Amino acid sequence: MAENDTRCGFVALIGAPNAGKSTLLNALVGSKVTIVSRKVQTTRALIRGIAVDGQSQLIFVDTPGIFAPRRRLDRAMVATAWSGAHDADLVGVLIDARKGLDEEADAILDKLAEVRAPKILILNKIDMVDKPTLLGMTKTANAKVAFEASFMISALKGDDVADLKGWLAARVPPGPWLYPADQMSDAPLRQLAAEITREKLFERLHQELPYQATVETDVWKELRKGDIRIEQTIYVERDSQRKIVLGKGGQAIKAIGEAARKEIATIVEAKVHLFLFVKVREGWGDDPERYRAMGLEFPKE
Ligand SMILES: Nc1nc2c(ncn2[C@@H]2O[C@H](COP(=O)(O)OP(=O)(O)OP(=O)(O)O)[C@@H](O)[C@H]2O)c(=O)[nH]1
Ligand SMILES: [Mg+2]
């Protein structure tokens, strides 16, 4: 393939929390590179997933959901999401079609005027909504923002995801690929492994642990037989939360560790020995070190 025939570009996916950005990124890449949950505010930092379509390499940037931030961590996440949009060649704006153009979506559309990159509208979750409603939404959104194109997809079922990908492949600028053809993510495996444990934590404890936990990989060691030993710390803010994570007789942590271990093993294609530790770190949401570990800027206030 002649190098001057290739295309390559960054496509940021932005939208309200829970719109389906991470689900779409995984569908576009064809592999799990970012975690998904039923809860809002799952994604915390910019996560890149890389896909190839014909002669084009597409670098998708998953961003945290955009909402009205209150706490420091919220502010860091929302600032990061917008920075992802400002740095991209193209910006895909996801709207949860089931929720429609509510206040949250409107606030995002209003702020898009400040984003210079070409924007496209992506109505997601069309498996839950009828066609006339979708067309109405598309019209209203296009009256507000000059979108280059509009798509209606289901990231979960895969409907029209290939169309979207093909369109983007033709639209990104000509240029050499930035990553090897088979690379799907630029995140180190130890970071993805920490995210997977956080996903399992969310899945298991979604009622009791409203987002006050973070996970870090402390040790990643390849053993002689090719097995991998991973040690991770789950930081919570209070002792009561530590008890929840441990569960009665250690049941919860055991199940979380087992689910995470299995999934990490599939990804690294090796036997994994996963050791989880739970530490109380009061106010970790105000600790710059934790932000660095997540790949976020620490907001001054
Ligand atoms: N029915 C339906 N559900 C979807 C679709 N896409 C995503 N979801 C669900 O929506 C929920 C949120 O998905 P995520 O991909 O985590 O959403 P997100 O926009 O990354 O959320 P944050 O990271 O919190 O901003 C999950 O339960 C997904 O399974 C879709 O096309 N149809
Ligand atoms: Mg997400």
CB 91 within 8 A of CB 118: yes
Helices (H) and strands (E) in the chain, counts: 9, 9
Q: Is 299 helix (H, G, I), strand (E, B) or coil?
A: coil
Q: What is the CA radius of gyration of the chain?
A: 20
Q: What three-state secondary structure class fits 222?
A: strand
What tokens were used for 46?
A: 């910019």
Instruction: Choose the residue to mutate in 43, 156, 160, 206 for probing ligand 1, maximizing ligand atoms within 8 Å of C-beta.
Output: 156
Chain Cα centroid distance, residue 211: 15
> Ligand 1 atom closest to Cα of 65?
25
The residues whose Cβ lies within 5 A of ligand 2, an ion, are 21-22, 42-43
Q: 155 CB under 6 A from ligand 1?
A: yes
C-beta of residue 153 within 8 angstroms of C-beta of residue 122 = yes
Element (H, E) at 92: strand 90-96
- Residue 49, classified by CB atoms within 10 Å of its CB into exposed (0-12), middle (13-18) or buried (19+), is buried
pLDDT of residue 210: 57
Q: Give the distance (Å) from ligand 2 centre to CA of residue 290.
A: 19
Instruction: Give residue 293's pLDDT.
Output: 85
What is the per-residue pLDDT for 245?
Answer: 94
Question: Contact 184/171 with Cβ under 8 angstroms?
Answer: no
CA neighbours closer than 13 Å in the CB half-sphere of residue 74: 10
Q: Is the CB of 37 under 6 A from ligand 1?
A: yes
CA distances from 264 to 3, 193, 256, 288 (A): 35, 6, 12, 27
Cα 119 from Cα 18, distance rounded (Å): 20
The secondary structure of 80-140, three-state, reads HHHHHHHCCCEEEEEEECCCCCCHHHHHHHHHHHHCCCCEEEEEECHHHCCHHHHHHHHHH
pLDDT at 125: 98
Atom of ligand 1 nearest to the CA of 44: 23
Q: Which atom of ligand 1 is nearest to 25's Cα?
A: 15
Q: What is the mean pLDDT of each run of 10 residues along the chain (301 residues)?
A: 81 97 97 89 92 97 94 93 95 98 96 95 98 98 97 98 98 96 90 94 79 90 94 94 94 97 94 97 88 87 75
Q: In what order do the strands lie in the sheet with 228-236?
A: 213-222, 228-236, 272-280
| Ligand 1 pocket mutation pick from 13, 18, 28 by most atoms within 8 angstroms of CB | 18
Q: What is the pLDDT of residue 39?
A: 83
Q: How far apart are CA 134 and CA 75, in angstroms?
A: 31
Q: What integer pLDDT is reported at residue 4 of this predicted model?
A: 65
Say how far apart CA 138 and CA 125 lie, in whole Å: 14
Please tell me the distance between residue 206's alpha carbon and the centre of ligand 2 in angstroms. Answer: 15
Is the Cβ atom of 158 under 6 angstroms away from ligand 1? no
pLDDT for residue 22: 97
Question: Are 253 and 245 spatial neighbours (Cβ–Cβ below 8 Å)?
Answer: yes
Ligand 1 pocket member 99 (CB < 6 A)? no
Chain mean position to CA 232: 20
Residue nearest to atom 10 of ligand 1 (CA): 20
Reference 50, options 154, 224, 183, 155; nearest CA is 183
* Whether the CB of 92 sits within 6 Å of ligand 1: no
Centre of ligand 2 to C-alpha 35, Å, is 7
Ligand 1 pocket residue status of 232, Cβ below 6 Å: no
**How high is the pLDDT of residue 283?**
86
What distance in angstroms lies between residue 64's CA and the mean position of ligand 1's atoms? 12
